[in-house]
Homo-oligomer: A and B are copies of this chain.
Amino acid sequence: MPNKFPVLQIHGNLNRTGVGIFDLMSGIGAHEVIVETPEHFLSLATMPLKAVEDVLWTYYLRLMDLKKDGRFKYVMIFKNEGEVAGASLEHTHSQLIALPVIPKLVREEIESASKYYEFKERCIFCDLISQELGDSRRIIYQNDSYVALAPYASRSPFETWILPKAHEPHFYPPKEKFTGLAEILQTVLKQMDRILDVPPYNFLIHTSILHDGMNEYYHWHLELLPKLTKIAGFEWGSGFYINPTAPEEAARFMREAKI
């Protein structure tokens, strides 16, 4: 555990914002902004590695704290970097949104993983990691505990997933340490900054729902999408994504980046 967090937290509540899902839920929720460093010109790619580790600790500790409120079913932890990716503040920051419902897309992923487990009696993400490490063409980077890869059906160029190699349903510090996760995350962000000239991006932690225990079917991971293509009519209407860059190519560029 770190001794000190060089991280500010701004708390707030989700208000009714026009008409939307929150309208149906009496406005219960929490929205927190995590300011990742006091230095205005640093980013997760350029700050000291220890500071990235502290940001991950802050995600975890805030998640554990929000979990105490039984009204919350899911906490989204995400980052929008750059105006094009939807960042409304310039100073580097991440966000948490605690929700009283399980979002549709989260539910779909969890249900799919659960069906696969019923069918195969294995975690789909553990199978994916093992297959990708065997094939190696889509592997971007790995350290002892984590692997970064370009998913086979990448939705956009340079889509990158970071997964713990061990089966871990919830976002969690193994052996009380986030060192390995900080190292792989910063490495991938440095590679991306190098190859794509500091692109805007979104990342999102996909973790189990809050009170789902040590389930065997879900495996937390981080999905990172540089914002290089636009969501237009076709994507809006179909849910399909047009991706002009093969993930094998993207992974090779990332691996060969001089950082």
Contact = CB atoms under 8 A, between A and B. Distances in A.
Interface of A: 17-21, 23, 76, 78-80, 84-87, 95, 97, 99, 103-106, 152-155, 157, 202-204, 206, 223, 225, 230-234, 236-247, 249
A230 B106 CA distance: 20
B225 A236 contact: yes
Contacts of A103: 237-240
Given A87-B232, A97-B234, 15 more contacts: A17-B243, A18-B157, A18-B246, A19-B153, A20-B241, A21-B153, A21-B240, A76-B238, A86-B231, A95-B233, A104-B239, A104-B240, A106-B237, A225-B236, A231-B231
Given A85-B230, A230-B86, A231-B231, A236 B18 contact: no
8 closest A-B pairs by CB? A86-B232, A78-B233, A103-B238, A86-B230, A105-B239, A104-B239, A204-B237, A202-B233
Contact of A18 (B17, B20, B238, B247): B247
Contact of A19 (B95, B99, B232, B243): B243
Contact of A237 (B78, B152, B233): B78
A95 B242 CA distance: 14
Contacts of A245: 18
A233 B80 contact: yes
16 contacts: A17-B242, A18-B243, A18-B249, A20-B153, A20-B243, A21-B153, A21-B240, A76-B233, A76-B234, A85-B233, A103-B239, A104-B240, A202-B233, A202-B236, A203-B233, A204-B233
